[in-house]
Amino acid sequence: MLIALIALADRAAGNRASLGVLYVLPVVLAATVIRPVWIVALAFLCSVLRSWFDIPAPAIEVFLRFPFALIAYAGSGLFVAGLIRSRAATAELLAGLRHEQQLRREAEEELNVLVESSPATILTVDCAGVVLAANKAATGLLMLPEGETLKGRPIGAYLPVLSDALQVDPGPEGLRAAAQCQGFRENGEIFLANTWFSSWTSPEGMRLAAIVVDSSEEMRDREEENLRQLMRANQIAATAISHEVRNLCGAIAVVSANLRSSGAGNEEDLQALTSLVSGLEHIASVDLRPRGQDTLEEVPLQVVLDDLRIVIEPQWREIGGAVRWKLFPSLPRVLGERHGLLQVFLNLSQNSHRAVQDCGRKELRVTVHPEGQNLSVRFADSGPGVSAPERLFAPFQPGADGTGVGLYLSRALIRGYGGDLRWDQNGETSFFTVQLQTIEGNPIEEHHVNGNG
């Protein structure tokens, strides 16, 4: 209808003017709903009508007006059709982007909820070792003051293994590893950490993400259970030996009765008595635990004491006590076996823990002293002391708080390492001293590490 109205108007204008430019309007309107091939056909129709009612002109000009009009009409229509298709594609792309953003936002919210509610510490670190992000569990794990976060702090002060991992070249595929290490809380307390971490390279440099779990309680339970099993196993062995001794004593009593009844001993009874006495001597020469010289190694004493600190400090805090550490800046290696030394130290610490239960001041002091070419570790507590020191290292003491073989076995272990365990007294202060053989020179400077309850 619009094309017809323009054609009638153009015809009415006659030779006075040309209204051919108005044909662009119906072509553009039609381009919004019809396909490109029909836009060209409609442009051709409008070009014919324009030529039919056009004003007179030279032949060459008349000839050129038609293709120019066709190009103008078709180009305008195709341009509008292209704009519409582009707008539709843009709208579709924008809708897709909005949908993806919504999905990403939901995934981020779910991930944030998962990270923040996780009992494990989750954090990311930049190439300089500075924490970029950390969840709430990190604040509790590292005992940061209330209202403060781990973000912006150097991770090396708390978990040195993560700082060291940043120094390793991750390669094109990045670094993925797990490690069990010692961590440090804000108050200086040591804890055992299980870490899983991975690194990658970003445009800003190397990045590292880590999951950290406190395994101190697991270690504490494991070492205490190992100590109980050690005591129980040796107690069973001692009971078996005692049973054999009773059997031999019974046999000796029978032989002695025969000798007394006969008035004069015969050769067979004397030989039997000699054999029984030899059996008793053999049983008496058997220790509850072998010396184990073939298992000796160079043990870093600092690592053993750090493990001991992880195990015992929470127990002393629970009773309102404290553990005071007086150590050297760098402790030498000693001759022994790491697990055995930890068991001996743990046994002495637990004895002190039981001794101070009813005391007003509950304190354990662990001190390292050089003794010539050897090194001694002293355990002194604020307990009431020892009532019968002459029976301290005797097995199966009557009235013992524990199994009754702990100190006996501890001294046997230390002597197996070429050292000794003894009880000493200085004035009113009594303490146990574990003497160990050092592998390297003794340190000369001291520093204090306090574990407060």
- Residue 95 confidence (pLDDT): 93
Tens digit of each residue's pLDDT (9 = 90 or more) over 403-419? 456 787 888 888 888 88
Do 18 and 127 sit in the same domain of this protein?
no
Of 142, 306, 148, whose CA–CA distance to 210 is shortest? 142
Tens digit of each residue's pLDDT (9 = 90 or more) over 311-338? 888 889 889 999 999 888 788 889 988 8
Model confidence at 341: pLDDT above 50? yes
Evaluate whether 401 touches 347 at the Cβ level (below 8 Å). Answer: no
Model confidence at 295: pLDDT above 90? no
Model confidence at 434: pLDDT above 90? yes
- Residue 22 confidence (pLDDT): 84
Tens digit of each residue's pLDDT (9 = 90 or more) over 187-200? 888 898 999 999 88
Residue 354 lies in a domain: yes
Between CA 125 and CA 134 the distance in angstroms is 9
Model confidence at 302: pLDDT above 60? yes
Model confidence at 82: pLDDT above 70? yes
- Residue 293 confidence (pLDDT): 47
Which of 296 and 450 is assigned the larger pLDDT?
Answer: 296
Tens digit of each residue's pLDDT (9 = 90 or more) over 248-269? 677 777 766 776 666 555 667 6
Write out 85-151 in H/E/C secondary structure: HHHHHHHHHHHHHHHHHHHHHHHHHHHHHHHHHCCCEEEEECCCCEEEEECHHHHHHCCCCCCCCCC
Which of 131 and 246 is assigned the larger pLDDT?
Answer: 131
Evaluate whether 43 touches 77 at the Cβ level (below 8 Å). Answer: yes
Do 299 and 385 sit in the same domain of this protein?
yes
What SS3 class is residue 365? strand
Model confidence at 138: pLDDT above 80? yes
Do 338 and 386 sit in the same domain of this protein?
yes
What SS3 class is residue 186? coil
Segment 395-400 mean pLDDT: 54
Do 148 and 84 sit in the same domain of this protein?
no
E strands present in 135-223: 175-184, 190-202, 205-214
- Residue 291 confidence (pLDDT): 46
Do 203 and 224 sit in the same domain of this protein?
no
Model confidence at 374: pLDDT above 80? yes
Q: Could you tell me how far CA 102 lies from the centroid of its own chain?
A: 33
Number of structural domains the chain divides into? 4
Do 357 and 437 sit in the same domain of this protein?
yes
Residue 111 lies in a domain: no
Residue 178 lies in a domain: yes
> 371: part of which helix (H) or strand (E)?
strand 363-371
Do 305 and 376 sit in the same domain of this protein?
yes
Residue 447 lies in a domain: yes
Of 83, 72, 6, whose CA–CA distance to 43 is shortest? 72
Write the burial class of residue 177 (CB in 10 Å: 0-12 exposed, 13-18 middle, 19+ buried). Answer: middle
- Residue 155 confidence (pLDDT): 92
Task: Give the end of a domain, one of 214, 232, 257.
Answer: 214
Do 82 and 129 sit in the same domain of this protein?
no
Segment 142-154 mean pLDDT: 89
Model confidence at 294: pLDDT above 60? no
Model confidence at 444: pLDDT above 50? no
- Confidence at 158, pLDDT banded by 50, 70, 90: very high
Do 312 and 391 sit in the same domain of this protein?
yes
Task: Give the end of a domain, one of 230, 264, 284.
Answer: 284
Do 248 and 300 sit in the same domain of this protein?
no
Mean pLDDT score of the chain: 81
Q: What are phi and psi for residue 119, nearest 5 degrees?
A: -75, -15
Write the burial class of residue 402 (CB in 10 Å: 0-12 exposed, 13-18 middle, 19+ buried). Answer: middle
How many residues are there in the chain?
453
Q: How far apart are the first and last CA of the chain?
A: 96
In sequence order, the β-bridge partners of residue 367 are 326, 378
Do 381 and 262 sit in the same domain of this protein?
no
Tokens at 313, concatenated: 């400090």
Evaluate whether 384 touches 359 at the Cβ level (below 8 Å). Answer: yes
The CATH number of the domain holding residue 378 is 3.30.565.10
91-95, 131-135, 281-285, 415-419: the lowest-pLDDT one:
281-285
Residue type, 215: S
Residue 253 lies in a domain: yes
Residue with tokens 């990311």: 124
Residue 114 lies in a domain: no
Which of 230 and 356 is assigned the larger pLDDT?
Answer: 356
- Residue 289 confidence (pLDDT): 47
- Residue 230 confidence (pLDDT): 67
Residue 416 lies in a domain: yes
The residue range of the domain holding 9 is: 2-95
Segment 300-308 mean pLDDT: 90
Task: Give the end of a domain, one of 262, 284, 306.
Answer: 284
Segment 119-142 mean pLDDT: 90
Residue 108 lies in a domain: no
- Residue 238 confidence (pLDDT): 62
Between CA 99 and CA 95 the distance in angstroms is 6
The CATH number of the domain holding residue 189 is 3.30.450.20
Do 73 and 40 sit in the same domain of this protein?
yes
